Chain A
Amino acid sequence: MTSAAARVARPPLLDSSFLLVAPAVLFLLLLFVYPFLYGFALSFQPNEGGWLDNYQKFFTDSRAWRTIVTTFGLALPVTLINVGFALPIAFRLRRRTLWQRWVTTLLVVPITLGTVLIADGMLTYFGPRGWLAQTLQLFHLYDGPIRLTHNYWGVLISLVISGFPFAFLLLLSYVTGIDPVLARAAATLGANRWNQFRHIYLPLLAPGLAITFCLAFVQAFSVFPSAVLVGAPSGSTRVISIAAYEAAFENYDYAMASTVAMIMGFAQLIVVAVVLGLRRAFYRGPVSGGKG
C-alpha cells in the first residue's frame, strides 16, 4: 500500500467539523459537568470533621438514611405502575386510529400541567372534602373517611398522573415502530394473540421497556414538589430530595446538601445500571422482518 492510500484510508481525528459540536460541549461543561464536579468536591468538604464525615453522618442518622428507603418505596411502585399500565394500553393503541390520536392528546395534557398544578387539582378532587369524597358519600358508596392527600397515597397518585403519560408516549413510539407484518406472520404459523405478544412484540420491545423504566424511575425518584404539597413531608413521604433541601436551605449546610445529592444520584445510577444490564440479555437490533 502506498503512503497516499494510507492517508486516504485514515481521515484525521480532528478537523474543523468538530467545531460544530463545540457549543453543545461548552454548554454541557458549564451547566452540567462543572456544577456536578463542584458539588462532588463540596460533599467531601464538611463544615467540620474529616473529608468523609458528611457521608458518615448521613448513613448513621436514621432520619437521613431512611429517606432513601422512603424514596425507593415511592419510586419503584410508581415506576412499575406507570410502565405496567402504559404497556398494554400502548399495545392496544398501536394501530393509527382516531382513538389513538384522542387518547394521545388526552394524555399529553398532564405533562404540560406541571406538578404544582396537578397537586392543586388533587387537593380539590381527592381531599377529605373534595369532589371524590363528596360524591362517594352522597351515594353512600363509601362512608368512611377518605385520606388520599397529605400522605403516601397522595404522592403516589400525583406521580402516576404526571409520569404515566410520559411512559405511555415513550412506549407507544416503540410499539408502533415494530412491523405489524411480523405478528401476522406469527399468526399464520399458529400463534394466537397472546403468543404473538409474548414471542414477537415483547422481546422486540424489551430494550424500549428498559429505557422507559429507567427514565420513569429517575423521574419518580427525584420527586420533590408533590412530596411537599400532597404528601407528608415530615413523615411518610420525606423523600431524599427533601433531605437535601433541608440541608441546603434550612441548615445552610451546602456541603451536606451536596452529599445528599451525590448519594441520590448514586442510588439512581445503581438502578439504571441494573436495568440496562438486564437489557443486554435481550435482543437489540432492527425491528422489521427483512428487506423492503
Chain B
Amino acid sequence: MPHDFKQLRLDRVSRRFAAPSGAITTAVDALSVTVPRGEFVALLGPSGCGKSTVLNCIAGLLPLSDGGIWLDEQRIDVLPPEKRGFGMVFQNYALFPHMTVRANVAFGLRMRGTGAAETARRVAKAFALVQLEGHEDKLPGQLSGGQQQRVAIARAIVIEPPLLLMDEPLSNLDAKLRLEMRGEIRRIHRELGRSTIYVTHDQDEAISLADRIVVLQDGRVQQIASPQEIYAQPANIDVARFMGYRNVLDVEIEETRGTEVVVGADGVRLTGVIKQPLTGARGYAAIRPEEMTIGAGANVIAGRIENVEYGGRDSLIDVRTASGLLLQARTPGKPTAGESVQLTIPVERVLVYPRGGAP
C-alpha cells in the first residue's frame, strides 16, 4: 500500500449513472486534475454537481465509467477501496456504533495487522492530534456531534494515508463549531503533511481551507485556481454567481476598449473589464456587494435605499435606481431605508461575461 507519493493524478475521470428509466446521467464529465503531495484541494459546487461522486471514485467506492486515477506511476482506479489505503471522513461520520471510540480509531490498524504496542502508540497520537483524549472508552453514541467528527478524522488519519478524503465533514455541525473545526482541519492537514481532498458546497469553507479549488457544476470543471483567483476573477458567470457576486446585471455591450468595456442596463452605464471573450451584443456584468461602496468615484449609480440588513460590522443594503434596477451593496454602519445614496465601483471590479445559451 502506498504511503508516500509525489502526486495524485485524475485523468479524464468520468462517471455515468443509468437511471431506472434507462436514461444516462453524467455525474462527472472528464475531470482532470493533478494534486501534488502536501496540497489541500477543495471540490466546490452546488449540491448535485458531482463533487461527492468524484470523491467516491477516488476512494474506490464507485467505479469509473471512463478515465483513470494514478498515484505516481501506479494506476489505482482498478483497486478495491481496501487496497487504496486512503483515509476518508464521511458526511455523517459513519462511526461503528458497536465499537468504542478507541476501537473505531484502531480499526484501520487492526485490518492491517499492526501490533498491539504500535497500535496503542499510533491511536494515542491520533487522539492527541484531534484533541480528544479522555473519551477513548465511550461509545460513539455518547459523544456530541463535534466529538464524533473528531473521532471520524482520527480514524481516517491513524492509518497515515497518503491522501485524506473529506466529504462535507462540517455540514452537520452548528455554525460556531464549524468555524472551530475548520481551523482544526487546516492544522491537522499541515501537521500530517499529506494531501487532502475536501468536498464542500460552502465557498467560505473552500476559500479559507484550500490551497487550490476545483469548481464543479453539472459534472464539469468550471475553474481550477487558487482561492484568491476564484474569489476575485471567476472564470465564468456561473462561478461568479456561486462565489458571491450577487449583482448579476443583464447588460448591453456598448463599446469595447481593449480589455475594458462599456455596458448599459436599464439607464445605468458602467465601465468594466472583459473576463471572457464577448460574443454578441448582450452580456452579464457581475459585481460583489462588498465592492460597491457609498461615495464618489468611477461608475457612479444613484438610487434610494430600499432595505437594510444590519450585520454588526457592516450592513447589506438594497438600492433601487430611478430606472427600477435593484443592486446590493455592503456599507459600514447602519444607514436608514429611504435615504438617497450614490454607489461607486472600481472599473476592474465590474466583471463582464458573454451571454451564453442559458441565463
Contacts and interface: CB of A to CB of B under 8 A. Distances in A.
Nearest to A195: B111
Counting chain B residues whose Cβ lies within 8 A of the other chain, the interface size class is 35 or more
Given A185-B88, A190-B159, A289 B97 contact: yes
B70 interface: no
Contact of B80 (A179, A192, A290): A192
B94 A184 contact: yes
Nearest to B111: A190
A187 B60 contact: yes
Interface residues of A, number: 27
Contacts of B96: 182, 185-186, 199-200, 289
A203 B94 CA distance: 16
Residue from A182, A185, A287 with most neighbouring chain B CB atoms (10 Å): A185
Interface string B282-301: 00000000000000000000
B81 to A, nearest CB: 4
Given A190-B159, A283-B97, A285-B98, A290 B82 contact: no
Contact of A199 (B82, B107, B145): B107
A286 B61 contact: no
Contacts of B108: 189-190
Among B59, B86, B111, which residue has the most Cβ atoms of chain A within 10 A?
B111
B159 A289 contact: no
A181 interface: yes
Interface string B66-94: 00000000000000111011111011111
Contacts of A187: 60-61, 80-82
Interface string A157-194: 00000000000000000000001011011111111100
Given A203-B98, A287-B97, A289-B97, A188 B148 contact: no
A94 to B, nearest CB: 16
A190 B148 contact: no
A203 B108 CA distance: 17
B121 interface: no
B158 to A, nearest CB: 9
A286 B90 CA distance: 18
B248 to A, nearest CB: 33
Q: Give me the 8 closest cross-chain CB pairs, A-B, nearest first.
A: A290-B93, A283-B98, A190-B111, A189-B108, A185-B94, A289-B94, A187-B81, A292-B92
A204 interface: yes
Interface string B156-190: 10010000010000001000000000000000000
Interface string A196-212: 00011001100000000
Contacts of B98: 203-204, 282-283, 285
Contacts of A289: 90, 92-97, 140
B239 to A, nearest CB: 28
B152 interface: yes
Contact of A285 (B60, B81, B141, B172): B141
